[in-house]
Amino acid sequence: MRDARRTSPRLKPGVKRAQILEVATEQFGRHGYEETKWADVAESVGIGSTALYHYFESKQHCLYEIIGKTVFEFREQFDRRVAEHDDWGEALVAVLRGGFNLTGWEILRLRVVTAEHTRLGVHSSLPREEAARASARANKRDLEFAWGTFLARGMEQGLVPERSPQLLTRAVIGLYNSVWVWYRPGGSLQLDDVARFYIERQLDILGCDPEDAARWLAAAA
């Protein structure tokens, strides 16, 4: 009997590539990057294992694409939310809250990024894989720079105590990323409750005045 996968309609390369990224994200997020077999990803999208290499040079190349795309989208969302608010504090809360407005698949994606982002520091000898790594790393730096610039504005307005914007950025993002190490949808904690708790802690880390923080949170409610 012929393999049904070989007789199915062919998808355009861009569509198939996007499908591979989606499936890989889910499997990396559910089972772990190391535990996920590249061949299982191929089977899930209905192609042979060797065909994957038409789209990605390696499993790690795919991982770098996932990280890069995730961080790039977060930067776009950051810029949009900041631009939507004239009040700095309200923009801050909008950015923090927006980070928890996630689907189940997006949570899996953040779990992958949090668990594997340190791989971005290791150079690759494969050209497309290295390009994806460098791009993802640049996206990460751009997001951190945008955060640092934004926090410096808050300091200029007297809304955040004068400290290193870079260290504050890493503290706020680091606390946020820690959620995806342990949080599981469908568990005993609801994401809304987690968001409220962590956003308050992020505001504490920034050293925001409690009255200002309460006002910003109320305006966003």
- In this predicted model, what pLDDT tens digit does every residue of 129-152 receive, in sequence order? 999 999 999 999 999 999 999 999
What's the confidence (pLDDT) of residue 221?
A: 77
Q: Is the pLDDT of residue 1 over 60?
A: no
What's the confidence (pLDDT) of residue 79?
A: 97
Q: Return residue ranges of the chain for CATH 1.10.357.10.
A: 59-220
Q: What average pLDDT does this structure show over 29-35?
A: 96
CATH of domain 1-55: 1.10.10.60
CB 203 within 8 A of CB 220: no
| DSSP 8-state assignment for residue 177 | H
Q: Is the pLDDT of residue 17 over 70?
A: yes
Average pLDDT of the chain, as a whole number: 92
Q: Return residue ranges of the chain for CATH 1.10.10.60.
A: 1-55
CB 157 within 8 A of CB 88: yes
Give per-residue burial for 176-206: e unless 16+ CB within 10 Å, then b: bbebbeebeeeeeeebeeebeebbbebbeeb
Over the stretch 182-193, which tens digit does the pLDDT of each residue have?
Answer: 999 988 999 999
What's the confidence (pLDDT) of residue 14?
A: 76
Q: Which CATH superfamily hosts domain 59-220?
A: Tetracycline Repressor, domain 2 (1.10.357.10)
